[in-house]
Every structure is written in structure tokens, then in C-alpha cells.
Amino acid sequence: MHDGLVRRCRWLFAASSFLLLAVRAQAAPEWDVVGIRLGMTPVQARAALLAHAPKADITEFTRQFMFSDGAKNHPTPGFLASLTARQERGPSSTETVELLFSAPPMEQRVIRVIRTVSMPSQPVAMDSVLASVVQKYGRPAATLESNNGMVSILRWLEAGKPVCGNPAASAQDAREAPPVDNSPAGLGHYRAWQQRKLAPPDPSDCSGALVVSLATLAPRGPLVKEMKLVMTHPGYAIPAMQATARRLAELEAEAKKTRRTSGAVPKL
């Protein structure tokens, strides 16, 4: 752990104790990144995104899955998988906001938010960034740094729920928000956690997480050139992926049954 960052954080927490007392502990659904919250519907998320960045270039990504009848593959209906908004914030400064949505058949919800603000020509003082982040989200559950000292990492966890993944400070899991996806292929992380006793039997119990990464101009430097916020909701994403996997299995079973009972035998 970076001593300089620890000193800055300790000073910040001590000097602003009156402020921290007023900041209530926030559960994952209560966190927001520029007004966007985990669990929002696509309509709600789009409205929040447009309210934050009305002139941003927004790109939609759709996705569909395939299932087989034993002879050929068939696609499922497409669904809105993600939105990405990009805008210029000034000379050599850009902002990108990426939203990932869960897949049907469960109701589609925001399961991941990534906001990246790049400002290499207009870096901001680390102390100012830390003060702003702590004022908004409260005291982080963990404060770490990258191995090369170029990135300071602050992590918040949803209160009252078990952490999914390896919580050890030396583990990569402790330096990032739990990975989520809208494809059943993303279930591999949860299965690996379960095998290692790092996740509860019921995935809806998994804690949400918010991770803020602050990249500096120099190792352990005082100026931040990039700020990245990643917020994920495995407690909804994993059950949604499981539901999608079940639905695909059902569609494939039905298709194979239809294939076996259809088709005319060639005339003999």
C-alpha cells in the first residue's frame, strides 16, 4: 500500500470528520455515477445519461444468442446490450460512459457502469480528487495501489452482503469491481468463486462494488491524469445470466425435439 496515499486519506478523513459523519453508508443500488445507478432500466439509464451529457455521441450495441436444433443454429431476438457515450470535455480531455445491461428473460437492468475521464494535459491534484470522491461516496472499504505505483485504487462494497471474490489485499479481485456480463459465458467467474468458497450459494447475495482508479503522471505522483469509476452489480447480473442460460437450454431442447419429429422420409 502506498504510504503517501495512506497519509493523504488519513488526513482527509481526520480533517473532514464532520463531513464523513453526515455521509451515510450507501448500498450499491444507492451509488450513482453522474446520476446513473445500478438496477436502472434501459429507459431510466438513457434518460440519466442524456441529462449528464446531452451532446455526447451515443452508440448502442445489440446482442443475440444462438441455439442449435442439432442440425443448424438459430438466433434469439436481439436485445440492447450496452450504451457508450463519448464527449470532449475540453482541450485534450475526454469522457466516456459505458453502460452494460442484463439480458432477457429477466427484466433488463444496469449491471455495470464504467466512467473514464482522461485529462493528460489538464491533470488535477490528487488531494482534490480524493476529497471529491470521499464527499460523494463516503469512506472506502479499501485503499490500494497498482504494483508500479501509477494508479491509486479505492473500493467500496455494498453493506450487509458477502464479498464475491478473493478479498485479500494482494488479490486482483480486491482491486476491481466483480466482473459481470450479459452472456452466460460470464458465469465462469462465479463458478470459480464457488469452487474456492469465495462466493455464497445464492448469487443474489453477492455484494455490489464501486472501484475508483486514479492514474497519476508519475509513480505516486500528486497529479491525476485519468479517473476511472467502475460499478457492478453481481447480485443481479449472475441470476440474470443463469436465467438466460436456462432459457437457451430450453429453446435448444425444444428445437431438437421439433427437429426429431419433423421432416419427411425420402421415398423408398
**How far is 82 from 111, CA to CA, in rounded Å?**
10
Total tally of structural domains belonging to the chain:
1
**How far is 190 from 179, CA to CA, in rounded Å?**
9
Indicate the pLDDT class of residue 267, thresholds 50, 70 and 90.
confident
Beta carbons of 115 and 99 less than 8 angstroms apart: no
pLDDT tens for 182-210 read 999 999 999 999 999 999 999 999 999 99
Residue at 266 is within a domain: no
Q: DSSP secondary structure string, 185-251?
A: GGHHHHHHHHHTT-S-SSGGGPPPEEEEEEEESSTT-SEEEEEEEEEE-HHHHHHHHHHHHHHHHHH
**How far is 171 from 79, CA to CA, in rounded Å?**
35
3-state secondary structure 58-87: EEEEEECCEEECCCCEEECCCEEEEEEEEE
**268: which DSSP letter?**
-
Residue at 174 is within a domain: yes
Residue at 84 is within a domain: yes
- Amino acid of residue 201: P
The neighbour count for residue 239, using CB atoms within 10 Å, is 17
Compute the residue count for the chain. 268
What pLDDT, on a 0 to 100 scale, did the predictor assign at position 28?
A: 45
What pLDDT, on a 0 to 100 scale, did the predictor assign at position 265?
A: 77
> Above 70 in pLDDT, residue 62?
yes
Residue at 265 is within a domain: no
Residue at 204 is within a domain: yes
The residue-averaged pLDDT of 58-86 equals 96
Residue at 268 is within a domain: no
pLDDT tens for 128-168 read 999 999 999 999 999 999 989 999 999 999 988 999 999 88
Beta carbons of 238 and 188 less than 8 angstroms apart: no
Residue at 77 is within a domain: yes
Residue at 264 is within a domain: no
What pLDDT, on a 0 to 100 scale, did the predictor assign at position 22?
A: 31
Residue 59 has φ and ψ, to the nearest 5°, of: -115, 130
**Nearest partner of 97 among 148, 38, 56, judged by Cα:** 56
Domain range enclosing 11: 3-256
The neighbour count for residue 246, using CB atoms within 10 Å, is 12
Whole-model pTM: value is 0.87
**How far is 226 from 89, CA to CA, in rounded Å?**
13
Which helix H or strand E contains 243, and what residues bound it? helix 234-261
